Structure 1
Amino acid sequence: MNDAVRESEIAAEQAYLDRVYARLDQLRVTAAEVEREGYSLARVGNFGALVERDAMVYHAAKRRRALESEHDGLVFGRLDLGPDGRSGDGKDAASADPVVPGGEVRYIGRLGLRDESYESLVVDWRAPAAAPFYRATPADRMGVVRRRSIRSSGEKVVSIEDDLLDPEAAPSDMAVIGDGALLANLSRATGTGMKDIVATIQREQDDAIRSPSLGVTIVRGGPGTGKTAVALHRAAYLLYADRNRYESGGVLVVGPSDVFVGYVSRVLPSLGEDTASLRSLGQLLEGVQGTRHEPPEVAAVKGSLRMQRVLGRAARGPVPDSPERLRVLYRGELLVLERPALDELRRTVLNLGVRRNAARAKAAGHVLDALWRQSVELLPSGRQQKREEFAPDIAERPEFVAFMRAWWPVLRPAQVLGWLTDRHRLSRWANGVLSNREIAVLAGSIDPEDPSVEDVALLDELHELLGDPPVRKRVARDPFQVADGVREVTTYADRMAAARAQAVERPTDYRDYAHIIVDESQDVSPMQWRMIGRRGPNATWTIVGDPAQAAWADAAEAERAMDGAIGSRRRSAFTLTTNYRNSAEIFEVAARVIRKAQPDIELPTAVRSSHQAPVLTTVDAPELEAAVRAAAQTLLEQVEGTVGVITPTARRDEVAKWVDGLDARLQTVGALDSKGMEYDGVLVVEPAQIRDEARTGFRTLYVALSRATQRLTTVGTAPF
């Protein structure tokens, strides 16, 4: 295909995009005008007009924001369909002349647009009519003759790439441009954040994205297969397909690290969705931020389901340094409850199934019952009181109030977790559950003032066991009160809007999401599965991962915990088999590492070759710092986009100082935090140390070696 034909086709697509952007500008102006007109309805003066004003302003503002956010790359695809691919009512056909006689044209984009006559200009990528753009193949054409990918910068068409799916149906003068959009897209620099793949979704990815919303969708795939992109695009698809359910209930996306969450944070907004919540495993508990990772030996203990039993015993046990006895002088007789009796009362209350912080009043009642029964035994019948008279008398005494505060205080998760630092106390709670070595490791690793990522799941478990501290009901604050006795002048609509906002406001520690997406699920520990499961007792799920990358050694235990979180919901499984990220040369290095440990493992297939062999360097220890800095500088010169320096977890800060100041495009991460990340160039420092950091270290190294799209370099003091 000569350049003149290519330029002619680009010019034709540019003309159509000019129409689309002109219509977009018109709709933006209209939405702004409707928003302004909505405010003017308040002048009518009746309640109906005020309610109508609120509705008009809300929907117009929402539409205006959507139109403004989808400006760049608005149209990215075109379908030329034959007669057998036409829609029955023609409502999705673009207002463009079909190239195939008797067929139709559909333009695919980030949102749906129609012209003044309500004819289609652009079909939303999530709509059923757009599905053939992602799903059609030469074997199953779905009526598509030619599929065209359109790449633009701002409002200007930069290039086009065609797939001819039905040569027999194509007219002789149909132009077919390029060698394929996907590989062209893969060769571009990644930038500092993850890109959406809305223009290049492949069929096996689309199967998972559009799978039924009910139940659990499980997506497995090796490095570079687009698992994370599938998860995020599925969130956008669900919000489009059933907005009322998923926007009101909420979508939670859980990732492995804060670095990862920052990396993917732009994807959903770029797809027109900004209502989903993105959290790392260290951010799931409100008010707690875990950023550091424990050494593998400690993480193995804290992540095990056995911690459930240890924490349960701690949460139900006596408070350290609590009173050993209660002494009350009553009508000349000394009433005494010793430690055994108090322990029995505590167990009796907690055996009722109540949370500890919610049971303080109940515990006080049981103590008063025990004292009253003792008074009945000690006092003659003439001096005895009925229970309902005895209890208020004792309950109001200062010594009883002080006792209850010390014996049954309000407990907070961090406080109870701190008790585990006492080796003697921990040994009692962990008896028969943890080994002596594990007890020593656990006791020495806890710092309630600086919780690790692994601690967050333990704190959440304790929150579940203890419950929230009781709070006094507060009188609802009047949002229009300026000062005591002074209220702002408001309309009926203002007051109704405030009431609606208060009714739908989610609590800060929200735990009833409609859909939960878990990325890098193979690294989620059993205790973390319990934590995630509490956020969506009635949710549907999407679970994405790769067993070959698992950092959690006991896969069976993690599987049981996952089953406990998602329950018996119907499951749909999908496997992604193509590695789009790595060149074949890069992935071969990563594959050699994983096959040494798992010779029979099934790995994805890398679809492209860069003809650039990875650089694997071994140096003496004194030369390591200089070699790392030189290698990082070389990578920065070789690639236009980002460079990741991946280190052993324990050496991240040390290596970061070595390469500090080289370039803003460079990011240094520990091997565990590299999960889910993607860089144009990758420098793996001390790969042998990454491999030897834990029992699953070879999997972590496999991950580190498979982060690069263009160039891979390793520098270490030992071969791997």
Structure 2
Amino acid sequence: MPARSPLDSERDHLAASRAALRAMRADAEALDLTNVTANWVNAEVLRSEVGLRIKALADLAGTPLFFGRLDYAQAVDDDGSGHRYYIGRRHVHDADGDPMVIDWRAPVSQPFYRASKRDPQGIALRRRFGYDGGDLSAYEDEHLSDPAEAERGSALLRREIERPRVGPMRDIVATIQPEQDEIVRTSLSGSICVQGAPGTGKTAVGLHRVAYLLYTHRERLARSGTLVIGPNRSFLRYIEQVLPALGEMEVKQATVDELVAHVEVRGTDTARAATIKGDARMAEVLRRAVRSGVRLPTEPVVVVRGSRHWRVPVPELEEIVEELRSRDLRYGSAREALPQRIAHAVLVQMERAGEAPDDRVQNAVARTPAVKSAVTSCWPQVDPAKLVLRLLSDAAFLAEQADGVLDADEQRAILWEKPPRGVKSARWSPADAVLIDEVRDLVERTGSLGHVVLDEAQDLSPMQYRAVGRRCSTGSVTVLGDIAQGTTPWATPSWAAALAHLGKPEASVEELTQGFRVPRTVIAYASRLLPAIAPELSEATSVRDSPGSLVVRPVAEAGLSAAVAAACAEVLRNEGSVGLIAADARVPALAGALAAAGLTHLAPGTETSADSRLTLVPASLAKGLEYDYVVLDEPAAIVAGEPDERTGLRRLYVALTRAVSGLLVLHAQPLPGPLREAGEPAAA
């Protein structure tokens, strides 16, 4: 009988591990939850938790259960065991409780990502596995403690990075690089900002950081909560499968607009109005507006209890109101405190008269009509939407609150031309909703989560940063973005400014410049735009050298749309996903050209492996998305579609860097200046 090969042995371990995982799930499904809790509420909570556990133990057919192996030079466990560990997406143990697969987030797994010849971290051998679908097909060894073996790149690692992708974003747990791993494993108490050039994996790093923190601080974050914030729903649909693939089923995802959706948004602002409304100075205008209704009392408060009348004079009431107004209390908290302060003044008089009132008496006094009337007069309730409605409709009120903060031209820019009749009839804009959210927080504190991941953060306004910061005021944040990809008129000029608006000025800033997905020729071509859009940033590099990955093709203007459709058909002969990116205004014409050519296409965020591999992407939605091949339509039209040239060039930079394997640029108009100045690749 021929000797079994190492690959056969590894396949045996994979089969045994999958069987153990099925047994773990069967045990969870077999749990008897009857009569194990004190009440039905606890029973429902327990059933929910067990249900999530069962989902997390699913064996995903096309996903490798483990992707690596570590052989330690010496035992790492107290009992002398632990020489060998298989590293995978989740923990798997056998019937005796012994580990068969170790979760990639466990401390013992860390050397898989960070060990090297120079620093083997106790590892004698690191083995990587290659898969075809869910079948183990190859392995590759690195003998880190053998000085005779030269350090070399991993072919399996490179193959996994370059593997074609169709559909939603997948995890990178098998390919995390040392600099990425350091960010992923940053402590929960520390906020961090990741400036990442295209293809450096910043989004994946942020998602894997959430998974790591949930593994390390499970109970704490279960109480306080986690949230991933993305720029739009298409982006969130694109990334939504990453965390479930890592066993994390309950992380919430939202856009900033969804966080502040206190009113129905039906309107839009001009770029100037939106920029002013998003300016941090609006926080002071709103603070003044909220406090503008506070009035000093003009009459004493007389409380009747039985046959006695207790009188709080105007000067004493003024002192109470002024003291509350001077403190840094939220408006609602101060309003709740005011009746208690007035009632306390009455109790003091009662005690001086020889009575012995207690807290119940004080609460009763606080609820008397006289005290309630005084509170309503001095400290009226504030409806956030109504207050913002008045601010944007009433020129005199806005002028009073914005005096010395916004000049007259800025005030006119944000005033509505035709004031609406009420909150429901108002055509609120996204920027207006953020203002309402600010007022809500001035009235009543916004709840804070344990950790928030904010992706594509460079496009947020200062007021949007404040809205996000409120949601992690007592927790930490991972900020992800690229200054060079800022495509809004209010895009942040620096991470220091952004972190200050978030309320996290102490957060560390890490820069990722080593690309792993975008080919070197493509990132170099896109980087020609950097001096014009973000001269302070370092030029990105890439580990991938893919000859022929960039083609720039001039075509006749009359036949541009047809030529683009033909190019898509040409690129679809390759394996993998294809994104056709174009200026928003060009999308309808290109949709017609694709239909005429018999090519079906999808919208961003709806990609699945069972449908078309071609996605038609408006340039405004391209940020954060990734395709194996990109056909880029008319760069000049993308630039022209933005309010100014710098923003347009940034939008173009985003579009140019969405390709993983190849980029085909078609243009009828002259290319934008920064691309022309350096010359173009040969037309093909």
Equivalent residues in 2 for 1:242-641, closer than 5 Å: 242-287=217-262, 296-316=271-291, 412-419=383-390, 421-422=392-393, 424-425=395-396, 426=398, 429-443=401-415, 451-467=428-444, 511-551=447-487, 555=492, 559-560=496-497, 562-567=499-504, 569=506, 571-598=507-534, 601-618=537-554, 622-641=558-577
Q: For residue 92 of structure 2, what is the aligned residue in structure 1?
A: 113
Cα offset, 1:13, TM superposition: 1.9
Counterpart residue identity of residue 102, structure 2: V
Match in the other structure for 1:684:
632
Tell me how far 1:549 sits from its aligned partner: 2.5
Change in 2 beyond 3 A, CA 1:51/1:522: closer
- Rounded to whole Å, the distance in 1 between the matches of 2:52 and 2:71 is 33
Distance of 2:328 and 2:130 partners within structure 1: 60
Rounded Cα–Cα distance in structure 2 between residues aligned with 1:358 and 1:657: 58
CA distance in 1, matches of 2:274, 2:414: 9
Amino acid at match of 1:211: T
Match of residue 20 from structure 1: 17
Give the match for residue 350 of structure 2.
Answer: none
The CA deviation at 1:303 is: 2.0
The residue that corresponds to 1:133 in the other structure is: 112
- 8 A Cα contact 1:639 1:681, kept in partner: no
Q: Which amino acid aligns with 2:63?
A: G
Look up the equivalent residue of 1:273 and give its one-letter code: E
The 3 A distance-change label for structure 1 pair 698 and 112 is same
Change in Cα spacing, 1:687 to 1:360, as seen in structure 2 (3 Å) is: same
Report deviation, 1:461.
1.2
CA shift at 1:555, angstroms? 4.5
Conserved 8 A contact 1:533-1:566: yes
Q: CA deviation at 1:678?
A: 1.2
Alignment deviations for residues 523-571 of structure 1 (CA, whole Å, 9 cap, x no partner): 22211111111112210222222233334667568634522533465x4
Cα pair distance change 1:393/1:149, threshold 3 Å = closer
- TM score, norm. by length of structure 2: 0.75
- Structure 1 residue 352: deviation in Å? 7.3
Deviation per CA, 1:612-645: give whole Å up to 9, x if none.
2433345565544434444444443445224242
Match of 1:228 in 2: 203
Task: Specify the SS of the correspondent of 2:576.
Answer: coil
Alignment equivalent of 2:63, drawn from 62, 73, 94: 73
Cα deviation, residue 455, structure 1: 3.6
Residues 362, 242 of structure 1: CA spacing in aligned structure 2 closer, same or farther, 3 A cutoff? Answer: closer
Correspondence 1:117-266 to 2 at 5 A: 117-152=96-131, 155-168=134-147, 179-266=154-241
Please state whether the residue corresponding to 1:148 is helix, strand or coil: strand
Aligned-partner residue type, residue 595 of structure 1: P
Structure 1 residues 578 and 311, CA gap change in structure 2 (3 angstroms): same
1:718 and 2:670 matched: yes
Partner amino acid, structure 2, of 1:67: L
Residue 89 of structure 1 corresponds to 78
Closer, same or farther in 2 for the Cα pair 1:566/1:156, shift >3 Å?
same
- Distance change >3 Å, CA 259–CA 622, structure 1 → 2: same
**Partner of residue 621 from structure 2, selected from 673, 677, 682:** 673
The one-letter code of the counterpart of 1:641 is: S
Distance 2:400 2:588 in 1: 37
Q: Deviations over 1:316-336 (max 9, x none)?
A: 5579xxxxxxxxxxxxxxxxx
Give the match's secondary structure for 1:457: helix
Distance 1:122 1:92, change over 3 A: farther
Q: Which residue of the partner structure matches residue 662 of structure 1?
A: 600
Give 1:16 deviation, angstroms: 1.1
The Cα shift of 1:677 comes to 1.6
SS in 2 for 1:68: coil
Q: What percent of counterpart residues are identical? A: 32
User: 2:54 matched to 1:64?
Assistant: yes
Q: Give distance in 2, aligned partners of 1:613 and 1:652.
A: 24
8 Å Cα contact 1:524/1:558 also seen in 2? no
Contact 2:629 2:660 in 1 (8 A): yes
Structure 2's unaligned 5+ residue stretches are 295-320, 342-363, 603-612, 673-684
Report SS of the residue matched to 1:283. Answer: helix
C-alpha deviation, 1:196, in angstroms: 0.4
Deviations 1:663-691 (A, max 9, x none): 23333444343222212222333423433
Counterparts of 1:684 and 1:459 in 2: how far apart (Å)? Answer: 39
Distance 1:241 1:392 in 2: 52
Aligned with 1:696: secondary structure?
helix
CA–CA separation in structure 2 for the residues paired with 1:169 and 1:10: 24
Name stretches of at least 5 consecutive residues in structure 1 with no aligned partner.
Answer: 94-103, 171-175, 320-345, 367-387, 469-508
- Call closer, same or farther: CA 1:17–1:211 in 2, change over 3 Å: same
CA distance in 2 between counterparts of 1:393 and 1:527 reads 40
Please give the alpha-carbon distance, in whole angstroms, between the structure 2 residues aligned to 1:300 and 1:653.
29
Determine if contact 2:70/2:85 at 8 Å carries over to the other structure.
Answer: yes
Partner amino acid, structure 2, of 1:683: V
> How many equivalent residue pairs?
601
Q: Report the alpha carbon displacement of residue 702 of structure 1 after superposing the two structures with TM.
A: 1.4
Residue type at the aligned position of 1:110:
R
On the 8 A contact 1:221/1:545 being kept in 2, the answer is yes
Give the stretch that moved more between structures: 425-434 or 533-542: 425-434
Residue 183 of structure 1 deviates from its aligned partner by: 1.6
Report the RMSD for the aligned CA atoms in angstroms.
Answer: 4.5
Measured in 2, the distance between the counterparts of 1:611 and 1:539 equals 46
